[in-house]
Amino acid sequence: MTTASTGSGQAWQLAVAQPDRLGESPFWHPRERLLYWVDIPAQQVRRCDTRGGAVESWPMPSEPGCIAPAHSGGLVIALRDGIYRARTWGGELALIARCDHDPRTTRFNDGKADPLGRFWAGTLYEPRDAPMARLYSVDCRPGNGQGGRPLVQTKAQDATTANGLAWSPDRKTMYWTDTPSHAIQAWDWDADSNAMTRHRIFKQFPGKPAGWQPGDGGYGGRPDGAAVDSQGNYWCAMYEGGRLLQLSPAGELLQDIAVPATCPTMPCFGGPDLRTLFVTTARDKRPANELERFPGSGCVFSMRVEVAGLPANLFAD
Ligand SMILES: O=C1O[C@H](CS(=O)(=O)O)[C@@H](O)[C@H](O)[C@H]1O
């Protein structure tokens, strides 16, 4: 591992030196002790033993927006046109469910399993000129009231770029973001009924200044992927802000950590003690002067943190 300087005294390590075009959806596999993530435009699911192992890449037939580990082994994977199940690494992809989006204009983006094993995936409306993205939950549990057939529900809508999905340790609060709104939303969540109530803005960030260009100062970025630690703090990647924020359950800023890439996309907690924080980043479409300044853009970075994270939830079917 190589230490990457942020100029802020934070000790990031280069956890995976091979850059992604757009890394997303990292999780630490609790049984396999491997880091998994996706490179969306490269249409790859990747995994790696971050103690120096080689990166394994699994080509997908379309863009994988997000993935989660499954209780009975393998993965659930949101591809462009639907949610798929793979029982083994590199194995057959079986369609579980389609949602109601148009895959010509819309792909999946951020998602993960909830604490009871439903898979949640949000979409990204690629023209980015109308609020056509949604958030879905897909329940394939044998006791789902549908005889185990997938129960697909639209849980939020009127968005452009679904992101930031996470649950509090007591399973009573759910977080979600529509990235361009610069707002992190929260709901009271009932795990058993899957009901979301008391919708509120958990944290609002200032928008992008008019005419802002990468390299200009004065912009802190917009909320992207997130993870929650065991004390209920919400860790949020700030896309185009080059930083990762730790917010208390009340929304107070606890830490503002510079990342050695302008576009961090999503953090996750891993390592055997869940005290290593990994973050995926983006390289695609970034200007040359930014890539000169942050040559590791697109790589996965890691740092040790004080408070352990929550383990990845497992998809149940
Ligand atoms: O494609 C993506 O881009 C967005 C950033 S934005 O839509 O340009 O604001 C990022 O948040 C998202 O996670 C990623 O998949």
Residues 6+ apart with CB under 8 A from 169: 228, 230, 231, 232, 310
User: Tokens 């759910």 map to which residue?
Assistant: 174
Q: What burial class does residue 192 get, using C-beta atoms within 10 Å of its C-beta: 0-12 exposed, 13-18 middle, 19+ buried?
A: exposed
CA dihedral 120, 267, 29, 202 (to 10 degrees): -40
**Separation of CA 145 and ligand 1 centre (Å):** 35
**Separation of CA 225 and ligand 1 centre (Å):** 9
Structural domains for the chain:
3-204+221-304 (2.120.10.30)
**Separation of CA 164 and ligand 1 centre (Å):** 11
Contact 103, 80 (CB under 8 A): yes
Note whether ipTM > 0.85 here: yes
Residue nearest to atom 15 of ligand 1 (CA): 109
pLDDT value at position 148? 76
What integer is the mean pLDDT of 59-87? Answer: 98
Tell me: the pLDDT tens digits for 122-145?
Answer: 999 999 999 999 999 999 999 898
| Residues tagged active-site | 224
> Which of 22, 38, 222 for mutating ligand 1's site (highest number of atoms within 8 Å of CB)?
22
Pairing of strands 106-113, 93-97: unpaired
* pLDDT of 78 above 50: yes
pTM: 0.96
* pLDDT of 4 above 80: no
Query: What sign has the CA pseudo-torsion 111, 113, 114, 119?
Result: positive
pLDDT value at position 53? 87
Residues 317 and 312: their CA atoms lie apart, in Å, by 16
Residues 220 and 236: their CA atoms lie apart, in Å, by 12
> Which of 224, 238, 281, 297 for mutating ligand 1's site (highest number of atoms within 8 Å of CB)?
224
Tell me: the pLDDT tens digits for 253-291?
Answer: 999 999 999 999 999 999 999 999 999 999 999 999 999
**Separation of CA 161 and ligand 1 centre (Å):** 7
* pLDDT of 61 above 90: yes
Secondary element (H or E) of residue 314: none
pLDDT value at position 279? 98
pLDDT value at position 145? 87
Index of the ligand 1 atom closest to the CA of residue 225: 13
Backbone angles phi, psi at 310, to 5 degrees: -80, 145
Residues touching ligand 1 (Cβ under 6 Å) are 22, 24, 40, 109-110, 124, 161, 163, 179-180, 222, 224, 239, 265
Residue nearest to atom 7 of ligand 1 (CA): 161
**What mean pLDDT is reported for the chain?**
95
**Separation of CA 26 and ligand 1 centre (Å):** 15
Residue nearest to atom 3 of ligand 1 (CA): 161
* pLDDT of 2 above 60: no
> Which of 124, 125, 268 for mutating ligand 1's site (highest number of atoms within 8 Å of CB)?
124
pLDDT value at position 305? 98
Tell me: the pLDDT tens digits for 6-46?
Answer: 444 469 999 999 999 999 999 999 999 999 999 999 999 99
Index of the ligand 1 atom closest to the CA of residue 65: 15
**Separation of CA 181 and ligand 1 centre (Å):** 12
Tell me: the pLDDT tens digits for 212-221?
Answer: 999 999 999 9
Pairing of strands 133-139, 183-190: unpaired
pLDDT value at position 10? 61
